[in-house]
Amino acid sequence: MSGLNGVLERLGGRATSSIHRLGFASRFLLLTLRNSGMCFRRFSLVIREIYFAGVLSLIIILVSGLFVGMVLGLQGYDTLVRYGSSSALGVLVALSLVRELGPVVAGLLFASRAGSAITAEIGLMKATEQLAAMEMMAVDPIARVIAPRFWAGVISMPLLAAMFSGMGVFGGYLVGVQLIGVDAGSFWSQMQDSVDFSEDILNGVIKSVVFGIAVTWIAVFEGYDAPPTAEGVSGATTRTVVTSSLSILALDFMLTAFMFRGA
C-alpha cells in the first residue's frame, strides 16, 4: 500500500512541478517581452545574436534544403509517373516544401543547431554567475542577455525557413528537370498555377514565425532555469532540443488544421 502511495506522490509531485515550470515560463516570456525595449534601442545586441543563431545555421539549412528538395523530386517523380502526371512534380515539391517541410524541418534544425547553443550559453552564464554579476552592476540580465537572443531567433527563423524552401524547390528542379528530364515549362508553370501567395506562402511564413517564437522561448527559458551545475546545463540543453522539437510538431499539426482545412 505504501508503494502505491509513493508512486502517486511522485506522480503528483511531477505534475505540480511541471505546472510550476509552465507558469514560470509564461511569466518569463512576459518579462522578456516587457524588457525588450532596450534591445531595439541598441539593435547591435540583436545583430550579434542573429549572427550566432542565423548566419551560423546558414550552411546546414541550405544543404539540408537542397537534399530534401532533391529527395522530394526523386520520390515524387517515382509516384507521379505511375499516373502519367509527372508534369505535376513542381506542384508536389513546392507545396510540400512551402506548406510543411520548409517551416518544420528548418525549425527542427534550428532547434538543434541554435536553440541548444542558446540554452548552453545562458546556462553557463548562470553557472559561472555572470547573470548574478550583471544584476550586481544594476544591468537587467533579461534585457541584456535574454531579450536579444529571443528576438534574434524570432527574426532568423522565418528567413531560414524561406531559404530552406527556396533551396528545396531548386533541388527539386535540379533532380526533376535537369536529371530526370521533366519539362521545365510545365514544372514551373504548374507550380505557379497552384501555389497561392497568401494561402500557401504566407501561411508557411506564419508557421515559421510561430516556430521561431516557440523554439527560442524554450531555449532561453531552459537556459535561464537550468540548475547551475555541469549536469544541469547538459540536461537543460537536451530538454531544449526534445521539448522544442515536440512542440514544433504539435504546433504544426494545430496550425495546419487551422490553415488548410481542405478549403
Partner 1 sequence: MMNRKALDLWVGVFVAIGLGALLFLALKVGNLASFSAAETYLVKANFDNIGGLKKRAPVKSAGVVVGRVEDIVFDTENYEAMVAFSIEKRYEFPKDTSAKILTAGLLGEQYIGLAAGGDTAKLKGGDKLKITQSAVVLENLISQFLFNKAADGGKETK
Site residues (vs partner 1, CB under 8 A): 44, 47-48, 50-51, 54-55, 58, 94, 98, 156, 158-160, 162-163, 165-167, 169, 188, 191-193, 195-197, 200-201, 204-205
Compute and round to an integer the Cα radius of gyration of the chain: 22
- In this structure, which amino acid lies at residue 238? T
Least Å distance, CB 219 to partner 1, is: 19
Query: What are the CA-CA distances from residue 198 to residues 170, 195, 253 (Å)?
Result: 21, 9, 19
**Least distance to partner 1, CB of residue 200, Å:** 7
Question: Which amino acid is residue 183, in one-letter code?
Answer: D
Q: Please state the closest distance from residue 47 (CB atom) to partner 1, in A.
A: 5
CA proximity to 157, closest of 200, 226, 218, 199: 218
Smallest distance, Å, CB 132 to partner 1?
Answer: 23
Strand ranges (DSSP E) for the chain?
Answer: none
Between residues 75 and 189, which has the closer beta carbon with respect to partner 1?
189
Q: 163 or 248, CB closer to partner 1?
A: 163
Distances (CA, A) of 248 to 18, 33, 100, 205, 210: 19, 21, 11, 14, 9
Smallest gap from Cβ 16 to partner 1, in A, equals 42
- Phi, psi for residue 158 in degrees, rounded to 5: -65, -35
Residue 97 or 248: which CB sits closer to partner 1?
A: 97
Residue nearer to partner 1 on the CB measure, 211 or 224: 211
Q: By C-alpha distance, which of 127, 135, 118 is closest to 49?
A: 118
Phi, psi of 128 (to 5 degrees): -90, 15
Using the minimum distance from each CB to partner 1, give the nearer residue, 99 or 126. Answer: 99
